[in-house]
Structure 1
Amino acid sequence: MRAVTWQGRRDVRVETVPDPQIHEPTDAVIRVTSSGLCGSDLHLYEVLTPYMTPGDVLGHEPIGIVEEVGSAVDRLAVGDRVVVPFQISCEACWMCERGLQSQCETTQVRATGKGAALFGYSSLYGQVPGGQAELLRVPLADTTTVRVEHGPPDDRYVYLSDVLPTAYQGLEYAAVPDGGTLVVLGLGPIGQMVARLAVHRQIRTVGVDLVPDRLARAAQHGAEVLDATDGGVAERILELTAGRGPESVVDAVGMEAHGSPVTKAAQTVVGLLPDVLARPLMDHVGMDRLSALVTAIEIVQRGGTISLSGVYGGAADPLPMLDLFDKQVRLHMGQANVRRWIPELLPLVEDSGDPLGVESFASHHLSLDEAPEAYATFQRKDDGMQKVLFRP
């Protein structure tokens, strides 16, 4: 089959690799019909390269058709249409029963001390081949997949794999009070969807970004927007919120924030080192660009809540702990527990009125062969590229 493979820092290639096979009786193999390019994939493209191996198959946002099932799979049949969440979960362990599928005790990657195994996301999370491919092996297929109806276009459902649950959890964790204001830092795919969900709930929503296309898109869907290009974000946010700041902030940026040139340089240097040297530095030294999180701490109202949806990877990052303590800020964060939020999200994506605009959410539909250029363009934020769906 053809698949998008990682070959080195800023080097992804489309190659022919062996077709996936049923390894366990609980496995299924699906034929991928669409698969998203995620901002988290860009972390593997550059920052998290010490945890990657040449040939790793990328991608964790697929939808497709079941081609084959193992002997112990009883909830799926060949021909079913399924979304595949980015995490592999059992739905039966202590964590899953509490809605913490991202911590599934059956698939936890104990060798690296991490939570549930993830598709296409480095040795940190199990080195499971990903979904930017023609075919995908799905472990624990009965409890990992989400079966959806045939008929509607892939764009209607594919975001249930990651974008929608991650955004929904980010909004839930933000705990916006009645009549409160939400600020969303970063208007990439996750930030855009957080803003749409918040506006759908009639929450006053302010989106902040540097990219004009992203700001315009959020404004079209009802958010107030602030261009951060010229700085002064904190002052302008305070002006919009009676001098107190917003009750809730979602940081949808994460470890690759703009405005952290020293840390960016350090990330680049570490990414060029041999893995045997780079991994200990990534594991034990703070390597994140924290400007977005620092902004969140600065602007959030005293007694307010910061929700982290953007991925952070450093182990010992310097944070303004005195400010966090003094302002009585609540922090809530973590990988999205995908299946926990499906019951709330499925009616929204199946609504014929498309209240979240999922059918027009992708800015680009590309073939797998176009993946190398898509990664580069997405990282540069060029060509109006806001969300890519690959069609194998």
Structure 2
Amino acid sequence: MKAVVWHGVGDIRLDDVPEPKIQDRHDAVVRITTSAICGTDLHFVRGTVPGLAQGRILGHEAVGIVEETGTGVRNFRPGDRVVVPSTVACGVCSYCRAGYYAQCDNANPNGKQGSTTFFGGPEAAGGLDGLQAEFARVPFAHTGLVPLPDSVDDASAILLSDIMPTSWFGARLAEVSSGDTVAVLGAGPVGQLAAVAARLQGAGRVIVVDGVPDRLSLARDQHAETVDFNAEDPVEAIREMTGGIGVDRVIEAVGVDAEHPERGPAAVGESEKRRFDEEGDLAAPVQNPDRHGTWRPGDAPSQAMRWAVDLVAKAGTIGVTGVYPPHADRFPFGAAMQRNLTLRMGNCHHRRYIPRLVSMVASGVLDTTPFITRWADTEGAIAAYEHFDRREQGWTKVALDTA
């Protein structure tokens, strides 16, 4: 079968690989009909999240059809259409039963102290092959699959695998409630849908911060207020917009590959640039950008978090869904402490939120399809990665038609 395979930092290929097989009685094999490319996938190719094994299939977003189930999977049969949650969970441990699926005690073969397990990730995250392939093995399939009604097609369902639940989770982390003014840092796929989630959870006002014009335009399409950090200082702009107070809540949807402003009043000075350069060397000690500049790590790993601390109101809340590897340790802790900020962060408990989100799509309350800005087929997957990596116009979110 065809699959997108990681061979090293800066090196991904479309390879022919063996089809997966049932390995455990709780497994299922799913024929993938639609997958997608995520910013997290770019972290692996850029080198900001290390630890992938050479030959690992990438991807953690998928919709598909069940092909085969193990004897322990009692709730699905071949032919069922399903969405695959990005994180893997057993469904029976104390964490899963409390809804903390991303901290499952049994999914990670590294043991109970292992990190969140997800498809297409590093060995520390379970070392599972991903979902940018024609077929995939899904462990703990009785929990790790969510059924789709016929009324929810692939285009409506693919963002329910990761991006929409992560965005919903981000708004929950930030404790968004009725009437809140919310800033979303990052207008990539998660940031776009975090603005949607904040509205659905009661926000009275949503402000989206980014530096890419067409992503800001997409945010304005949903009537979010926007701030271009290359045209104005986002901290000063948001303070002015909020009467000098700041926002009640921040959703940080950027992560370790943040970029500092290229121009304008927020452009960094030489001392800040040196600090960010040092952070970048620590965040991505192995780098391999190609001659076109693709696969280059972000040049300001802590930029989004520093802005989050500065632009939120005193006693406000910051919810972090942007990905940071364990070795990313630069954070303005003292400034946050002195302002009585609440910081909540982590990997999304996808299985907790996906069933509700499927129902919201089926009922017409939620429509994620406007946020898929490009479709590509399997043969065009590597080129799609390159366009997405360069943040080219129109490449905010890429779905892959693997069928």
* 2:306 is the alignment partner of 1:294: yes
What is the distance in 2 between the residues matched to 1:37 and 1:181? 30
* 2:214 is the alignment partner of 1:213: yes
Stretch moving more, 219-228 or 340-349: 340-349
Stretch moving more, 120-129 or 169-178: 169-178
In structure 2, the partner of 1:276 is none
In structure 1, the partner of 2:11 is 11
For the Cα contact (< 8 Å) 1:109–1:115, is it kept in 2?
no
- Secondary structure, aligned partner of 1:243: coil
Equivalent AA in structure 1 for residue 359 of structure 2: P
2:280 to 245, 249, 264: 264
Following TM superposition, by how much is the alpha carbon of 1:72 offset from its aligned partner in structure 2, in angstroms? 1.6
- Secondary structure, aligned partner of 2:247: coil
What is the distance in 2 between the residues matched to 1:304 and 1:164? 24
In structure 1, the partner of 2:389 is 379
Equivalent AA in structure 1 for residue 171 of structure 2: L
Residue-by-residue CA offset, 1:157-191 (whole Å, 9 max, x unaligned): 12221111100010011113432200000010000
In structure 1, the partner of 2:110 is 110
For the Cα contact (< 8 Å) 1:305–1:329, is it kept in 2?
yes
Cα distance change of structure 1 residues 302 and 91 upon mapping to structure 2, 3 Å threshold: same
Cα distance change of structure 1 residues 28 and 343 upon mapping to structure 2, 3 Å threshold: closer
Considering fraction of residues, name the structure with more helix. 1
What is the distance in 2 between the residues matched to 1:202 and 1:50? 36
Stretch moving more, 122-131 or 47-56: 47-56
What is the distance in 2 between the residues matched to 1:238 and 1:295? 12
For the Cα contact (< 8 Å) 1:361–1:387, is it kept in 2?
yes
For the Cα contact (< 8 Å) 2:48–2:257, is it kept in 1?
no
What is the distance in 1 between the residues matched to 2:371 and 2:363? 15
What is the distance in 2 between the residues matched to 1:356 and 1:265? 41
What is the distance in 1 between the residues matched to 2:359 and 2:110? 36
In structure 2, the partner of 1:51 is 51
* 2:154 is the alignment partner of 1:142: no
In structure 1, the partner of 2:327 is 315
1:181-220 superposed matches below 5 A: 181-200=181-200, 201-220=202-221
Following TM superposition, by how much is the alpha carbon of 1:342 offset from its aligned partner in structure 2, in angstroms? 2.5
Following TM superposition, by how much is the alpha carbon of 1:268 offset from its aligned partner in structure 2, in angstroms? 4.7
Equivalent AA in structure 2 for residue 321 of structure 1: F
What is the distance in 2 between the residues matched to 1:212 and 1:325? 34
* 2:363 is the alignment partner of 1:351: yes
- Secondary structure, aligned partner of 1:303: strand
Give the superposed CA RMSD. Answer: 1.9
* 2:350 is the alignment partner of 1:326: no
Equivalent AA in structure 1 for residue 191 of structure 2: G
Following TM superposition, by how much is the alpha carbon of 1:377 offset from its aligned partner in structure 2, in angstroms? 1.2
- Secondary structure, aligned partner of 1:51: coil
For the Cα contact (< 8 Å) 1:251–1:293, is it kept in 2?
yes
Count of matched residue pairs? 376
Cα distance change of structure 1 residues 140 and 268 upon mapping to structure 2, 3 Å threshold: closer
Equivalent AA in structure 1 for residue 384 of structure 2: A
1:14-163 superposed matches below 5 A: 14-48=14-48, 50-110=50-110, 113-163=113-163
- Secondary structure, aligned partner of 2:314: coil
Cα distance change of structure 1 residues 135 and 75 upon mapping to structure 2, 3 Å threshold: same
Following TM superposition, by how much is the alpha carbon of 1:77 offset from its aligned partner in structure 2, in angstroms? 0.4
Equivalent AA in structure 2 for residue 219 of structure 1: R
* 2:238 is the alignment partner of 1:237: yes
Following TM superposition, by how much is the alpha carbon of 1:48 offset from its aligned partner in structure 2, in angstroms? 4.0
TM-score, reference length from structure 1: 0.91
What is the distance in 1 between the residues matched to 2:158 and 2:204? 25
Following TM superposition, by how much is the alpha carbon of 1:220 offset from its aligned partner in structure 2, in angstroms? 0.8
Cα distance change of structure 1 residues 149 and 217 upon mapping to structure 2, 3 Å threshold: same
Equivalent AA in structure 2 for residue 42 of structure 1: L
Cα distance change of structure 1 residues 266 and 116 upon mapping to structure 2, 3 Å threshold: closer
- Secondary structure, aligned partner of 1:247: strand
Equivalent AA in structure 2 for residue 391 of structure 1: D
What is the distance in 1 between the residues matched to 2:107 and 2:301? 30
What is the distance in 1 between the residues matched to 2:393 and 2:243? 37
Following TM superposition, by how much is the alpha carbon of 1:347 offset from its aligned partner in structure 2, in angstroms? 2.4
Equivalent AA in structure 2 for residue 244 of structure 1: I
